[in-house]
Structure 1
């Protein structure tokens, strides 16, 4: 194979030799498949030259003497992250310069200035690096055929991170169109963490073409450890402020450290904590998606130059960015998935023969169990699988309009093309026709309004945009990323108390109570962008705010945590105080099991508590809590509220259920009428509709000449939602809304699988006092959002009585 490489790549082979490199077998295989014109999926660990392997065939083709320069792009590289496109462009400069290749390579993202975008269309570079949104934008222009018609290769990086998202669905609709515009183009996908490569390869088979799956050689196993700050593992808390000093000491002993956290709020807190103890004045930076473009670029450039000792970051730096000086990754908080953990660990030590070093920092005892399970899964290469997402009809609507902005569309031809995109392979003609009709005139209830008439049919049976302004509106609003806004919390006839994340409000129904700004508030409804409340005179918070991260615990990792808990032989791998915690749980009650469900109930104060050890992630638990309290109300158990973590669901009320009632509470039929009633009563569907309407193009966030405020967007969405529910309840966007709510907000599919799995396997324990494993979830009841170090200190103080009660040997003997 090396001889073939030297013969086929007369400029690349000497460059490898001057650097003292020998191409990896998977790099040579990529060259061979490209010569045969086949599409490929490359799965190789970080440090194995995966990105270079994707570009080698293109560099070779473009480097050959006497080649004919064609019009438009030769190679298109697509990344889910803007920062990654910039980093890859920077890395490509080196081989292009050292091989003295006259190859143009440019970046096109939302940050690219307008004058450069226009110049790129007039004089397209041979290699274009872009994002899914910018690809959709470029495909909407009338010259898309000229830009993409001579494509030789399309490279999709970090395929696993985008495949089953709305961004991924928009991307693959665009790639299906590229396959029609450039039928000879090869499609290449790259990833380090794909659990089912043969399945993922189908995403590249747009017209039935075969896709070669290439697996790179395995690298050194990562060196992963779990940090126990002061040999102490807190019972509760989510911010890990107790470990900041230890994290700082780890930074001091390494060249460059990436400190990953799960939320932007946690990033800010950890960054502030590190600066407070930064006695050596080390250059430590912060990077997350809410920072300005200029600030993020400044940090990325500083990292590339190797002048920073640490960066505290969120998923904004998860993917693919190769900074050679990074020799340590710290994951603060539980990673929520083995694939995510490996992806983050891969940012350290980009060499196959050297192990990447990582430290996991659990914030509490359940997170320590998750960290242990994630570490074992990562070392075993047991990656997380994700369920396939059904076709997103709002994304489809956006794509149809984008195609029409570029050229006249014929419905039959467009339907056939869309079906070649893997996420839309199951799309029915009925759904397509309904979405197409919506794009044409808004549907039955909205077609009386001229503003929703976006396409007109010609005598040739093709549809064209009704006016040039339609194309301008589309291009200003393209994409599927809709920021979940913060909502103002306001007293009726009173002041604004502050802001709360929209996700928290989505599950509230009128009459629910929650704690905010030190007050017990009663939810009265949503008006525009404000959560209207009144001061509750008495009672407990029915839905207290939860301060944990929003990343869901994956199904595979949840199963490993249950297995770790249920098998006492595995406990010896845990710290002594955590072993004692689990031993006390066995004495007081029992440990959660691998397959069934353990439910405890016990009195405390004047209330009865029900604790279920579900391990299905906070989204599913939040939905389960809403449904359980409705059922308990109907049973006369008088529930007062619930709180959910990734691991446990806790409900409190005035009466305790018996064993028979517990079985009925967790019956699978709750996903029928109970779910329908809750969805209708809550604001969840209304909020989901706003996001669907924006993506589908029914409501523009930005309009030529002006940008709409969030208040205007919400008002318009609420008005249209009410009109459709009244006059056209079968509207395709209402169907998309319910589908979206079930997938994103309620995690109904996972909840359904859980209820089916535990059927007939529920163990109910009636206890006289709180159990050790129930302490963390009880600590979450009624808690407020507290910034800084005070959070964990207050939790520790509040925990003392609970811990004493849960660990009293006399109580355990009763």
Structure 2
């Protein structure tokens, strides 16, 4: 049976006609699917995804006006929610629709939040954290009464993090309050539509997937730079003259960087080279809200020719007339590159234009692999596994804040979420017991006695006043331990934040970069870094944590496949010659074998292991291999790691590397090393905060990073000693394996190489290993090797002095 397309109400159709617009096929398809329980729309950037998501809502509210909350929109960014509100106001105002739209984020005033609870708008735009907070109130059933639709924007970004797990648990509770709730997911970059559809669906209801026309192929290439990239390092500053030429030739250029520190460095050098005084801004998450807002407003007004930025401008915000994107440094992830490319020519059927600037010689190869993937429409993504239990613990506490609950009902809600579908009742009850008592080792402490079970079987807060404390600590985003930075003096302008650890290294007179300007550290006052403009010209650099991306598995596979080609005609001559030289002197790495090179350098044996497992995993591999070498008496002295290799130097050479990579031994060594490593304490702290064991905020005060770390370290040591199988220690081990140390990718490396090791012993440094010699981040190994070197040096000194041994 053929169904006719769902019509638009007259006011909306007249608004479209007045603009000379017609609905795109995927927008009409969204209208036709309006009553489906779940719909996932994958449409290119600029393809009208947002309007597609809201058209059924606007149509329903126009045809049947009503009071109360009709549609909830959830986005990963506060700024994106505010931007969507601005964009929605246009059709609503011009079509004369009686629809109220408001946003509710951490930036919303207390009075507005209070009013929204009492009188919800028709459309509420929010974030996962603000939604979780709303659901924690006793009047949540009244607030969400009549809710019809939930629109999750940039769903791919949420699906990759704990924020997405928190959101889906919140939606399971919303679905219990509103059984007929319909779900909509929007994205431009989904590598596995079926997986995201399962993620979005309310099980066992199906989710329809709508694929829009992908539009024209983007115009992407390497930026034409006369100079060759350096052999090592990052930042891409060698390309600044070419970047300035590109800025001058376009209306507005976004210049993306992978870290905040790199963005600050690049902006500073770009500004110094900006002889024509082109208006250029900087935007990243460590800057003050005031400074970010100034840059955003200038973008909207068209007052800036370029913005140096990080992931803070990754997602679908439509600011200014951007016609060029420049990615400085390898993107590390194909999906991230596609998202950033889409910021240029943010219009349907207009090709996006982007240029890549590799930061060093190896990144040139990686950039070519990424460009090929984008042209082929290939995306990447790492499987996330089961839902994290620290997020589940927080969800249980949020449910308790809203009022008494039945464990069976909550368990049913939780297991309706795809990530938690395999959770058994024993695992759920362990989380419930942890929330109620703190677990075996902590149940005698009153502060962790938070839930009690009533005679009727319902669970509730032991003390209703605890709800305030729980609400203050809702969220899964782990802030780095930062301090505010302000200009010195009464009412000094806020500049942003720097890490506590960085601030601790400063003495009055030191200078550093923030917001593109050099400032002078004057002192610390009331947990605020006070600075002046007397910065000079040679700054230190604030150690912004940001996110240090690891090259994705899919992109790594492409690089290894490239190495197996006979030639690389599209690579620059200098890079082709480099790879051919590597093949002649040694060999190029392969995906199904592990290449290990041994050679002398500077009087010491060096070993290079080409694991291609990503930066975090290769760093971990360096720690594990040097520990194994220590056990074998080889005297490791240090190592350095990149996304693709680990370089180790030692007192004695490695004659047979195979025993270093035996899976079970490596896994056992990993577990032993991890148990006492600082990574575990850092991971424990994060899980303890998310699960509610440790508060990051209390009424009237906020813990400093040092205070939180100190208290979490004591708890960690206590639990390891008295309750080693405590739930939170189990969670910590799970999180550490897939987080900071990424041991899973080391295991994948061992599986794909299956013990096939190519050990090449040479008399000199190989071409592919040479750049690792120039890497600045060297990790020393303190052990028998250092003692042997000191003993040898002492013997030489004694002999040279003619003294008896």
Q: TM-score, normalised by structure 2?
A: 0.88
Summarize the alignment of residues 82-231 of structure 1 with structure 2, pairs less than 5 Å apart: 82-231=78-227
DSSP-derived class of the 2:769 partner? helix
1:646 to 643, 647, 667: 643
Q: Shift of residue 274 of structure 1?
A: 1.6
For 2:551, the equivalent position in structure 1 comes to 553
DSSP-derived class of the 2:440 partner? coil
DSSP-derived class of the 2:299 partner? helix
Summarize the alignment of residues 524-543 of structure 1 with structure 2, pairs less than 5 Å apart: none
Q: Is contact 1:263–1:550 with CA below 8 Å preserved after alignment?
A: yes
For 2:288, the equivalent position in structure 1 comes to 292
Unaligned runs of 5+ in 2: 482-498, 513-526, 528-542, 780-805
DSSP-derived class of the 1:312 partner? strand
Q: Is contact 2:252–2:305 with CA below 8 Å preserved after alignment?
A: yes
Q: Is contact 2:436–2:450 with CA below 8 Å preserved after alignment?
A: yes
DSSP-derived class of the 2:612 partner? coil
Summarize the alignment of residues 385-784 of structure 1 with structure 2, pairs less than 5 Å apart: 385-485=381-481, 486=499, 488=501, 550-569=548-567, 571-658=568-655, 661-780=656-775
Give the whole-Å Cα distance in 1 for the aligned partners of 2:372 and 2:630.
42
Give the whole-Å Cα distance in 2 for the aligned partners of 1:5 and 1:17.
17
Q: Shift of residue 275 of structure 1?
A: 1.1
For 2:539, the equivalent position in structure 1 comes to none
Q: Is contact 1:324–1:348 with CA below 8 Å preserved after alignment?
A: no
DSSP-derived class of the 2:382 partner? coil
Q: 1:498 to 1:678 in 2, by over 3 A?
A: farther
Give the whole-Å Cα distance in 2 for the aligned partners of 1:152 and 1:174.
15
Q: 1:473 to 1:648 in 2, by over 3 A?
A: same
Q: TM-score, normalised by structure 1?
A: 0.87
Give the whole-Å Cα distance in 2 for the aligned partners of 1:546 and 1:96.
41
Q: Is contact 1:690–1:717 with CA below 8 Å preserved after alignment?
A: yes
Q: Is contact 2:203–2:418 with CA below 8 Å preserved after alignment?
A: no
Give the whole-Å Cα distance in 2 for the aligned partners of 1:152 and 1:233.
54
Q: Shift of residue 490 of structure 1?
A: 12
DSSP-derived class of the 1:573 partner? coil
Q: Which moved more, 1:125-134 or 1:266-275?
A: 266-275
For 1:809, the equivalent position in structure 2 comes to none
Give the whole-Å Cα distance in 2 for the aligned partners of 1:783 and 1:428.
44
DSSP-derived class of the 2:324 partner? strand
Q: Deviations over 1:175-208 (max 9, x none)?
A: 1111111111110000111011112101122231
2:347 to 344, 351, 365: 351
Q: Is contact 1:601–1:611 with CA below 8 Å preserved after alignment?
A: yes
Q: 1:10 to 1:279 in 2, by over 3 A?
A: same
For 1:795, the equivalent position in structure 2 comes to none
DSSP-derived class of the 2:107 partner? coil
Q: Deviations over 1:728-749 (max 9, x none)?
A: 1111111111111111111111
Q: Is contact 2:296–2:319 with CA below 8 Å preserved after alignment?
A: no
Q: 1:594 to 1:722 in 2, by over 3 A?
A: closer
Give the whole-Å Cα distance in 1 for the aligned partners of 2:599 and 2:459.
65
DSSP-derived class of the 2:343 partner? coil
Q: 1:549 to 1:443 in 2, by over 3 A?
A: closer
DSSP-derived class of the 2:365 partner? helix
Q: Is contact 1:488–1:497 with CA below 8 Å preserved after alignment?
A: no
For 2:314, the equivalent position in structure 1 comes to 318
Q: Is contact 2:660–2:666 with CA below 8 Å preserved after alignment?
A: no
Give the whole-Å Cα distance in 2 for the aligned partners of 1:455 and 1:391.
23
Q: Shift of residue 783 of structure 1?
A: 6.4
Q: Deviations over 1:607-640 (max 9, x none)?
A: 1110112211101101111110011112221111
Q: 1:726 to 1:191 in 2, by over 3 A?
A: same
For 1:790, the equivalent position in structure 2 comes to none
Pair 1:28 & 2:38 matched = no
Q: 1:209 to 1:489 in 2, by over 3 A?
A: closer
For 1:788, the equivalent position in structure 2 comes to none
Give the whole-Å Cα distance in 1 for the aligned partners of 2:557 and 2:296.
37
Q: Is contact 1:489–1:497 with CA below 8 Å preserved after alignment?
A: no
Q: Is contact 1:599–1:764 with CA below 8 Å preserved after alignment?
A: yes
Give the whole-Å Cα distance in 1 for the aligned partners of 2:590 and 2:745.
18
DSSP-derived class of the 2:33 partner? helix
Give the whole-Å Cα distance in 2 for the aligned partners of 1:408 and 1:234.
62
Q: 1:781 to 1:92 in 2, by over 3 A?
A: closer
Q: Shift of residue 357 of structure 1?
A: 0.5
DSSP-derived class of the 1:672 partner? helix
Q: 1:670 to 1:369 in 2, by over 3 A?
A: farther
Q: Is contact 1:559–1:594 with CA below 8 Å preserved after alignment?
A: yes
Q: Is contact 2:230–2:359 with CA below 8 Å preserved after alignment?
A: yes
Q: Shift of residue 464 of structure 1?
A: 1.2
Q: Shift of residue 164 of structure 1?
A: 2.8
Q: Shift of residue 781 of structure 1?
A: 5.1
Q: 1:398 to 1:595 in 2, by over 3 A?
A: same
Q: 1:750 to 1:497 in 2, by over 3 A?
A: farther
When the two chains are superposed, the root-mean-square deviation of aligned CA atoms in Å is 2.5
The total of aligned residue pairs comes to 733
Q: 1:777 to 1:393 in 2, by over 3 A?
A: same
Q: Is contact 1:490–1:496 with CA below 8 Å preserved after alignment?
A: no
Q: 1:547 to 1:579 in 2, by over 3 A?
A: farther
Q: 1:472 to 1:196 in 2, by over 3 A?
A: same
Q: Which moved more, 1:732-741 or 1:37-46?
A: 37-46
Q: Deviations over 1:246-300 (max 9, x none)?
A: 1111111100111100000011011111211222222211111111122222222
DSSP-derived class of the 2:277 partner? coil
Q: Which moved more, 1:482-491 or 1:552-561?
A: 482-491
Give the whole-Å Cα distance in 1 for the aligned partners of 2:2 and 2:508.
69
DSSP-derived class of the 1:103 partner? coil
Q: Is contact 1:324–1:350 with CA below 8 Å preserved after alignment?
A: no
Summarize the alignment of residues 370-381 of structure 1 with structure 2, pairs less than 5 Å apart: 370-381=366-377
Q: Is contact 1:488–1:498 with CA below 8 Å preserved after alignment?
A: no
Give the whole-Å Cα distance in 2 for the aligned partners of 1:199 and 1:704.
41
DSSP-derived class of the 1:729 partner? coil
Give the whole-Å Cα distance in 2 for the aligned partners of 1:704 and 1:357.
49
Q: Is contact 1:324–1:349 with CA below 8 Å preserved after alignment?
A: no
Give the whole-Å Cα distance in 1 for the aligned partners of 2:735 and 2:509.
31
For 1:16, the equivalent position in structure 2 comes to 16
Q: Deviations over 1:95-151 (max 9, x none)?
A: 111101121000100111111110111111110000000000000001111111211
For 1:41, the equivalent position in structure 2 comes to 40
For 1:812, the equivalent position in structure 2 comes to none
DSSP-derived class of the 1:27 partner? helix
